[in-house]
Structure 1
């Protein structure tokens, strides 16, 4: 090969010809600890904090089960041992959904560590399928949050006390129902996310959600209600005024409220568990049955009630950030609107 051609293809020769210096490799050719720390922080950020906590408990449960049987809990796990773990949970009376979630946590731990997920094993898949089928034949049905209607929501909020906590709870319940928000959506709302809009309503920015982890965001229209006690805009303004009276004009919208004559407001956002407690306490006060009641009842109730009132599926989907077919599955009242079985000429 001609020397000039070698210079064209040799990076060091090219750098020398241009008068630049090529740095020599430093270290032993391995990643630095700072590199690994940075990777770990971004891997953790890929999941919601609540998911990380739940998965950590589930993986700890796997380790405890292994310890009780003198089995290694190290990764990668033996698929046969994982199948036995699933079977033991089912035998202890845990629901298929519970068992599947714990498997998901163990799968996630494996994938994060670069191992094949045990849930991809044919034996583990068939064990879980058998657990689901056995439970179904025994009459088990997956628990679903019951959809609340406007009358129930009115009962939940009309007897709340005119205190800081009562004002917060009224705002939380009414906004959650009016916009079909998830509990996590409510927790992530910030004071700055509520801004005045036309027609006397408010624009509500949902920065993040379960299906929008990248934070593209969605601005929703919060319209005024027809009754004072259940008007979500009035409730929101009352809570914002209460916060401003405490010198709080930014940060989490829903936060803890202390007890006593001069209750102090927390600085951190409520957790989804706290949202559940807010709803539970309101139900107890109002005499509303707690059966099937959860924060998701507000979201299901929004879809069911809006659908029954003739709101277009497109608008329900846009506000709730659903795909249209999911909205239909949430509508618990429409099956008798025009049942196909009545059109068969039988």
Structure 2
């Protein structure tokens, strides 16, 4: 299994750096190198160019998440078509359909490779011959996920994040850490003592009250005290038969003080997916401070770096005890490295 997993990772990376080539002339228009604006998104892995060419993007499985990405990040942009040697090399007319890789003009990574590396798409193992050959020219590949833009990060985070509704009408935010429904939030949001459900966000960023799942059971929960800042619950969401969910991996090593980070949360009373960027301020023992604007309802939500790795769980806000106002710019997160250690010690299987 480890060999298969490693091979799939290599295919993911090599698709990102895909090269091209081949022969077999059947028309007078060379597919490789065609440039045009994306006029329409047809599905989660198909686009139509302004010149009339329809392109099925190799290497990714089409989903609503990949379609959303193409709509927001690729539509209207100029792309370069990259042919695979086992597919068409020449066409008679642009009014046809081809299977190729596609790259945004001026970018290093192919679209399919970028979606695979940041976890938005799943690998479709078809026609990766040229990528495999090209991979040999990149012996030092392996630096992990490429950084994302803010809009890419929001698109990536949204399907893995949800609102937690408790029986006592308390609420907060939570997120998945594997595709089988394992999730995290704060203990003060949900401690397992009452019934609760989670609600997903719709494509418009608003909570969809009709799309909910029950919380099945709590696997681990801890709250060390109001001033200790270590406050989280690991729980299992009851998914439909065969259902898989998007999730975000926990970081393996601490991010650096001053690094760009971001959060998604559900500020109380808005029922909206609220995305805010910021900066990691300082690590402490088991928690860290950050300057992301945070409100009640954001508790339990993910704080990630710009590679989409979870660095912590949004935990609390400081208040001025004299005037009882929110202390601007002082918020806390539970350290994801600590959470990884707890999961490992308790043999709880999470996404890697």
Whether TM exceeds 0.5 here: the answer is no
TM-score, L = length of structure 2: 0.33
Richer in strand (by share): 2
Structure number with bigger Rg: 1
